[in-house]
Structure 1
Amino acid sequence: MGGGPVSPYDVRVRRDRLILWNLDHTLLDAGRVTREAYAEAFTAVTGRPMVRMAPTAGRTESEIIFETLAFNGVQTEDEHLEAFTRALETAFAVRRDKVRAHARVLPGAAEALQAAERLPGAAQSVLTGSLEATARIKLAELGLDRHLDLSVGGYFSPVYPKGATIETSRIKTAQKHGTTIAEGATVLIADHPLDVRAAQIARARCVGVATGTATETELRGAGADFVLPTLADTAAVVAAVDRLTRRDG
């Protein structure tokens, strides 16, 4: 019987290991657009200009939002989070062209994604503290979404921390493919010690890449299973992922 080529995420293909990628400062840099979107959302919610934005590395959207409000002298209330996330989604949506123009894929990221998705039994998605809508815009406009199954990704949740969203992503992937993915067959590739800790909480493995604010020494000290300076060496990235997630690893 004939038929077209099998999609890399065809549910008929058995998946028994999960590769999760952090976005900002691991795969891409969209800092300029993010700051603009935050400034617009801040003004929409508070009626005043944003003077200072909170640090973003390794953090979830709620942490960044509440700290940004505090840094700018706004007394936070429960409804701020929902209002701010809605405004942030809108601010990103109208800046799709700016993402394409001003954001950038970090060296080796596209090649690493493409190579890692060929690993036998691998499902590949994202684990990020960003809103799902903004994450999808960044990935789509930079052409990285074609290598990822975003339907099983882990995104910002007002309820669950990053470690829990790793487990959620693992469950969604296993259910989609009718398989079992062991904790040790899950790996997170990320750039910050907080992400390393999230992987440890979920009993996943972690490849640290020193493309953000953390050094290789800091990532090793945090307990990353493997550390690389960047994603530029595709073979090294794939070898690390393969070694950490294969059954005899």
Structure 2
Amino acid sequence: MAVPWLGPLQEVAIKRLVLWNIDLTLVDVAIVTRDAYAEAFRAVTGRPMLKLAPARGRPDSEIVFETLAVNGIVTEDDTLPRFLSALAMAFADRRKRLATEGRAMAGAKEALKAVAKLDGVVQSVLTGTIKSNAVHKLRAFGLEKYIDFELGGYGEEVYPKASLLQVAQGRAKTRFGEPFTMANTVVIGDSTRDVQAAKIGGAAMIGVASGRSMAGELREAGADLVLPDLSNASEVVAAVAGLTAPSGRKPVSP
């Protein structure tokens, strides 16, 4: 299968996998997200949502269960799929608000574009957001053209992020016929949960202190490198290049 924005000759060379967290790493659309959760909650339960569980880098599946619990809702076997379906619809209905009520994080587009030029790279996402909403979030700011969404890990898959990381690596291996390990996979995210997922799942980690966790917290959690934000695209490229290398080659220490 060809990557839409890469030619077939480039596709053969792809042996580095870069997985981006979305919320507070690439975009901030918290207002629209909360409104979509409130509508989905009412659609599923028939009641108003009094409290939304904090994200803290967790997948939508975990946020849904905790939100239902703190609002006194007893779940059934079909509650989660019904809620996620309602959330997808509610978010799609609000997608035109994303660009006006949300924002791309500083330097996000430039960083994605610059990393895309690095030899042998394919970029996807490792996110707690369900897939349809992940596409809407990035498309609203013109970021989707740098992402291969078929290789990512998403919130509806009901895995912890460390397992989602391994799912994404498995998808890349199936696509390209190469193993993806800590030597040639890097996660870029803003929370200590992203760091933990990378360390447990088997990837290098670039922490970005633009969201939930401060630079010191990211370092303490075990991030290989920490950037203040994505505003210096050359710095982002250097970090990715230093921590990943095409399969069969040892990564160069930054």
Superposition TM-score, scaled by structure 1 size: 0.93
Per-residue deviation, 1:174: 2.4
* Structure 1 position 148 matched with structure 2 position 151: no
Within 5 Å, give how 1:57-68 maps onto structure 2. Answer: 57-68=56-67
Residues in 2 aligned to 1:57 and 1:231: alpha-carbon distance in whole angstroms: 20
Work out whether residues 17 and 182 of structure 1, in 8 Å CA contact, stay in contact via their aligned partners in 2: no
Residue identity opposite 2:92 in structure 1: A
* Structure 1 position 8 matched with structure 2 position 6: yes
SS at match of 1:134: helix
Residue number in structure 1 paired with 2:251: 248
Q: Which runs of 5+ in 2 are unaligned?
A: none
- Residue deviations 1:68-93 (CA, integer Å, cap 9, x gap): 11121212233211110010000011
Residue number in structure 1 paired with 2:87: 88
- Residue deviations 1:82-132 (CA, integer Å, cap 9, x gap): 110010000011111111321210001100000001111111111101100
Residues in 2 aligned to 1:62 and 1:136: alpha-carbon distance in whole angstroms: 17
SS at match of 1:73: coil
Residue number in structure 2 paired with 1:183: 182
SS at match of 2:155: coil
SS at match of 2:235: helix
Residues in 2 aligned to 1:147 and 1:190: alpha-carbon distance in whole angstroms: 17
Q: Percent identity?
A: 46
- Superposed CA RMSD: 1.5
- Residue deviations 1:143-173 (CA, integer Å, cap 9, x gap): 1001111111111244422111111211212
Residue number in structure 2 paired with 1:38: 37
Q: Which runs of 5+ in 1 are unaligned?
A: 1-5
Work out whether residues 5 and 146 of structure 2, in 8 Å CA contact, stay in contact via their aligned partners in 1: no
How many residue pairs align between the two structures? 244
Residue identity opposite 2:188 in structure 1: I
Residues in 1 aligned to 2:251 and 2:135: alpha-carbon distance in whole angstroms: 34
Change (3 A) 1:156 1:236: same
